[in-house]
Chains A and B, each alone.
Chain A
Amino acid sequence: MRGAHKREERVQPRSWQKPEEHKTKPMSYAIEAQNLTKRFGDFTAVDAISFNVAQGEIFGFLGANGAGKTTAIKMLIGLSRPTEGDASIAGFDVYRETDQIKENIGYMSQKFSLYEDLTIAENIRFYGGIYGLSRKRIKTKTTEIIQELGLEEYVNRLVGDLPLGWKQRLAFAIAGVHDPKIIFLDEPTGGVDPATRRQFWEMIYEAADRGVTIFVTTHYMDEAEYCNRISIMVDGRIEALGSPAELKQQFQTDSMDEVFLKLVRA
C-alpha cells in the first residue's frame, strides 16, 4: 500500500492557517476544513466539521444516509455556500475563489451525470471543451481515456446504451479530463457488482499514484478499507477520523462494519 508513511503525521490535528499565508509556501494540504457548517433554516445539515486531506491521499468520507455527506461535499466543490466556518481547496478559499477551485477539481456526482444522448467521444470533447482544453489536448485525452477503459469499439456508441458500470468508470475518467489536483466522488459505485467496483477502485489508485487527491463518499465498508484515512459522519458531525486500522483499534473491533454500527447506533 502506498502512502503509509504519511498517515501518522496526518492524524494530528493541524492549526488553521489563513489561505493568504498559505500561498507563499508549498501547499501541504489539498483540502482543509475548519468548523464548516451548513444550516437550512433551523436544521443544521453539517455541524462544524474540521478535517484536512493531504495531497495524493485517498480520503473516505463515510456516514449514514442523511448524515450530511452530500451537503458537505457540495460546500467543498463550490455548489453550496457554507453558512459558517472556513475551508480551502487546493489552497483556494471556498467563499472567494470558487472559480479557481473549479479549475482544480473534478467531481462525479451521485446521479450519473454524463449526457446519455451523446456518444462517449462527444461527452469527452464537451467536458474537455468547457474546461478550456485545446483541441489537440482533447484528442489525446479521448484516446487515452478510451484505451484506459478498453472502449475502442464503443467510441461512437451513445452513453445511454452502455452498462452502468462502464458509465461510472467513464464518468470518473471524464471527471479527471482536465487533470485536476483533487477529484471528489459522491457514492461513485452505487448499484454495481463487486467486480466492477474493484475495477473502479483500481482506477482510483492509479489516479492517486499520479498524485491526485481523492475525496470519496461511500456506503461500502470494504471500500472504506481501501482508503488511506476515513472520517465517519453522524447527524452532521464528524464522530471518528483516522486510518481504518486506527479506527478499528479505537473501537476495539476487527471490522469497519462494527466501527460504523457502533458509531451510528450510539
Chain B
Amino acid sequence: MQRLLYIIQKEFIQIFRNKAMLPMMTVVPIVQLIILSYAASNEVKNIRLAIVNEDHSPTARLLVQKIEAADRFLLIDFPASVAQGDDMLQTGEVDIVLTIPSQFEQHFYREKRGNIQLLVNAINGQQASVGAAYLNIIIQSFNQELQANLKIVNRNGQPPAFINVPTANWYNPELNFKYFMAPGILGELVTILVMLLTAMNVVREREIGTIEQINVTPIKKWQFILGKLIPFLGIGMVLLTVGLTAAKLLFGIPMQGSLFVIFAFCALNLTAVLGLGLFISNLSDTQQQALFTTFFFVIIFILMSGLFTPIESMPQWAQYLTIPNPIAHFVSVMRSVLLKGSTFWDVIYHFRVTVVLAVVFNTLAVLSYRKVE
C-alpha cells in the first residue's frame, strides 16, 4: 500500500513538472468546448434560396413575402426562368430553387389546387432535407391561412378540417443546440485526453529505460497499474470540473440531474478508458505506436459515440458496436442527466455496461504488463 503511494506521488510530480500539462488541463478543454459547441451544430441556418416567380399574382407575392420573413433563408435572387434557376443550383450558388408556376393563383382558386416546385441540392443531405422541411411548413401555413380567409367550403357545406399538430420540444425547449452538444463534447474531451496521456505514459518509461529499473523491484503488477491509473483519474476529474464550470458559465447549460451521478459515472468511465490506455501502452514499443493505436480507437469511439449522429439511426451491427464504446455511454449519461435530469436508476444500464468494460480493460492492462520477458 505504501509502495503504491510512492508511485502515485512520483506520477503527480512528473505530471505537474511537465510545462505543457497545466495549459492542457485548463485552456485546451475550454477552447475545444467553445469551438466544437458552436461549430459542430446541426442547426440549419442561412439556407440559400432562389425563387422563380412566373406568376406575379398577389397570392404569389404574398407567399414570397412570407418566405422572406423567415429568418432561416437567405433569398439570393429571383431568376427570370426555370432554366436560370437550374443553373444557380448547378453552380452551387443556391441550395433550393422554389418555382411558382404561371397561373398559380388561377389554379389555386379555380381548381382548388396550386402547384409549387421545390428543387433541392441534396449533396448536403442535412441542409437539403431540413431546408425543404422548413419551406414546406411555411407553405403549409400559408395554404391554411388562405383557405381560412376564403372560408372554402367543401361539397358537404362544411369547412375542411385542418389538423394542427402542435409540437413541444421537451428537455431542450428552445432547441438550443449548444445545450445538446456541450455535455456530450465534454464527455468526449475528458475521455480522449486522459486516454492519450495514459497510452503515452508506460511506453515512455519503456523508451527511457526506467521501466526496467521498476521491473527489478519487488513491486506488484497491480500496484504499478493502480499507481498509473489513480493520478490520471484525478486529472480526468479535474478536467470534467473545469469543463462543466466553463459550459455553465459560457452557455448556461442546464444541470437538471445530480452532479454526483455525473462525477460517479465519470470516475467509472475513466477507469475503463484508462485500463484501455494502459493496455495499449503495455503492448507498444514506442510512443509512436501507442499514439497511432490510440488514434484508431479514439476516432471510432468518437464517430460512433452518438455525439454527432444518433446511435438509433445507425445500422443494427453498428449499434452493437457502440456497446463496448465508453464514449457512447459517457455522452449518453451526460446528456440525460444534465438535460433531462435522469437519476442514477434511469442510467443504471450505462453504469452496468461500464463496470464490465472497466473490469475487462483493466484485467487486460494488468495481464499485458510483463515484468518478465
Q: Determine if chain A interacts with chain B.
A: yes
Q: Which of A78, A81, A126 contacts B10 (CB 8 A)?
A: A126
User: In the complex, how many angstroms separate the beta carbon of B40 from the nearest chain A beta carbon?
Assistant: 36
Instruction: Say yes or no: is B14 at the interface (Cβ < 8 Å to chain A).
Output: yes
Instruction: Say yes or no: is A28 at the interface (Cβ < 8 Å to chain B).
Output: no
Q: Are A114 and B210 in contact (CB under 8 A)?
A: yes
Q: Are B212 and A130 in contact (CB under 8 A)?
A: no
Please list 21 pairs of residues, one from A and one from B, whose beta carbons are closer than 8 Å in the complex, sorted by A's number: A77-B216, A78-B216, A79-B216, A80-B373, A81-B373, A98-B372, A106-B216, A107-B212, A109-B209, A109-B213, A111-B209, A111-B212, A112-B209, A115-B210, A118-B10, A126-B7, A129-B3, A129-B7, A130-B6, A130-B7, A132-B3
Q: Are A102 and B217 in contact (CB under 8 A)?
A: yes
Q: Are A130 and B217 in contact (CB under 8 A)?
A: yes
For the complex, give the distance between the alpha carbons of A235 and B6 in Å: 41
Known: A103-B218, A118-B13, A126-B6. A78 touches B213 (CB 8 A): no
Instruction: Say yes or no: is A156 at the interface (Cβ < 8 Å to chain B).
Output: no
Residues of chain B with a CB closer than 8 A to A105's CB: 216
For the complex, give the distance between the alpha carbons of A102 and B216 in Å: 6
Name the 9 nearest CB pairs between A and B, nearest first.
A129-B6, A111-B209, A113-B213, A102-B218, A107-B216, A80-B373, A126-B10, A113-B209, A130-B3
Residue among A77, A99, A130 with the highest chain B CB neighbour number at 10 A:
A130
Q: Which of A74, A109, A117, A131 contacts B217 (CB 8 A)?
A: A131
Mask of B335-373 contacts with A, CB within 8 angstroms, 1/0 = 000000000000000000000000000000000000111
Residues of chain A with a CB closer than 8 A to B373's CB: 74, 79-81
Instruction: Say yes or no: is B219 at the interface (Cβ < 8 Å to chain A).
Output: yes
Q: Besides the contacts A79-B373, A127-B213, A129-B6, what 4 more A-B pairs have beta carbons closer than 8 Å?
A: A79-B216, A117-B17, A130-B214, A132-B3
Q: Are B5 and A129 in contact (CB under 8 A)?
A: yes
For the complex, give the distance between the alpha carbons of A52 and B18 in Å: 46
For the complex, give the distance between the alpha carbons of A83 and B115 in Å: 86
Instruction: Say yes or no: is A229 at the interface (Cβ < 8 Å to chain B).
Output: no
Residues of chain B with a CB closer than 8 A to A114's CB: 210, 213
Q: Which of B14, B18, B208, B212 contacts A79 (CB 8 A)?
A: B212
Interface size class of A (residues with CB under 8 A): 20 to 34
Q: Are B209 and A129 in contact (CB under 8 A)?
A: no
Q: Can you name the residue of chain B whose Cβ is closest to the Cβ of A81?
A: B372
User: In the complex, how many angstroms separate the beta carbon of A81 from the nearest chain B beta carbon?
Assistant: 5
Instruction: Say yes or no: is B169 at the interface (Cβ < 8 Å to chain A).
Output: no
For the complex, give the distance between the alpha carbons of A83 and B11 in Å: 35
Instruction: Say yes or no: is A125 at the interface (Cβ < 8 Å to chain B).
Output: yes
Q: Are A118 and B6 in contact (CB under 8 A)?
A: no
Q: Are B208 and A113 in contact (CB under 8 A)?
A: yes
For the complex, give the distance between the alpha carbons of A109 and B214 in Å: 11
A 234-248 contacts with B by CB, 8 A = none
Instruction: Say yes or no: is A122 at the interface (Cβ < 8 Å to chain B).
Output: yes
Residue among A107, A109, A113, A125 with the highest chain B CB neighbour number at 10 A:
A113
Q: Can you name the residue of chain A whose Cβ is closest to the Cβ of B216?
A: A107
A 30-87 contacts with B by CB, 8 A = 74, 77-81
Q: Which of B3, B209, B372 contacts A78 (CB 8 A)?
A: B372
Mask of A208-232 contacts with B, CB within 8 angstroms, 1/0 = 0000000000000000000000000
User: In the complex, how many angstroms separate the beta carbon of B202 from the nearest chain A beta carbon?
Assistant: 14
Residues of chain A with a CB closer than 8 A to B172's CB: none
Instruction: Say yes or no: is B2 at the interface (Cβ < 8 Å to chain A).
Output: yes
Residues of chain B with a CB closer than 8 A to A130's CB: 3, 6-7, 214, 217, 219
Instruction: Say yes or no: is B32 at the interface (Cβ < 8 Å to chain A).
Output: no
Q: Can you name the residue of chain B whose Cβ is closest to the Cβ of A78?
A: B372
User: In the complex, how many angstroms separate the beta carbon of A76 from the nearest chain B beta carbon?
Assistant: 10
Known: A79-B371, A80-B372, A80-B373. A117 touches B216 (CB 8 A): no
